[in-house]
Structure 1
Amino acid sequence: MQTLAVNHQGSHLRIGIVQARFSDGIGSHLRESCIRKLLALGVQEDNITVATVPGALEVPLVLQNLAATEQYDALIALGIIIRGETYHFELVSNESGAGVTRVGLDFNIPIANAILTTENDDQAIARMNIKGEDAAVVAVEMANLLADIHHADAAE
């Protein structure tokens, strides 16, 4: 039996981040906590690319274009969708989530989806730092796991 080890060492990885600017105060904290954690995991600052877009619905298109360059080992989606009084919340949440997932599967690249969906600003503020850090850990771990799978496959 072969067990692929969890690996949070990011010194060799290139990471792309796409952040929705809607609710930018919270989004900026989400991005900052994510980048701090990436650096703590060894990702070199020069190997982190950040792009911002107006809102969560625009995130998948930029992720897709970053993935198409084949220059990244993993991508991270950041943003906040806060419930309002209309159906728009569900539309944006569902479509952005589906788009992020589709890009990852279509391009075979791990994408840490940290687009928060909350009822209000207080919930988003309570989650922004931990979810930014979580996204960094997920991106590094998944990039390393896929590399290990490809190396194991090539060795057979």
Structure 2
Amino acid sequence: MTNVFVNLPTTDLERAKAFYTALGCEINPQFTDENGACVVWDDNVYFMVITREFFSTFTDKPIADPNASLQVSVAFSRDSREDVDAIIAKGIAAGGTEPKPAQDYGFMYSRDLDDPDGNSLGFLFMEPAAVEQGPEAYMAAQAAEA
């Protein structure tokens, strides 16, 4: 089994913790201090929200400003379109922003959410039949039924 840890820089650790708990995550206090917090997404996915100052000790490269440039977008599947809309609403209420309108491809529905630091999160729902058949076959079957 593989666990995934995504490190995200923040300018305000308390604000970042509040944002991610508003999305339904928990903070693991064993791996949280004044430099960063371990945000538990699920049993195998964790975010480490880390102060920009401490984050800069991990590398000799400059730390990008996620409000100005996008280096990584982390995407999560949801069980329905309604689940996608619900988590976006929670994120916006907690200080996040939606950088562009929802994207509906027929077989897949996705929306993006930037956390208060500008880190990009994506949420998507894909029709189960499209996962099994592939997007083109699913869309062809939908067109034949119409």
Same fold (TM over 0.5): no
Q: Which of the pair has more CA radius of gyration?
A: 2
TM-score by length of 1: 0.28
By relative contact order (CA 8 Å, sep 6+), the higher-ranking structure is 1
Q: In proportion to residue count, which structure has more strand?
A: 2
TM-score by length of 2: 0.30
Q: In proportion to residue count, which structure has more helix?
A: 1
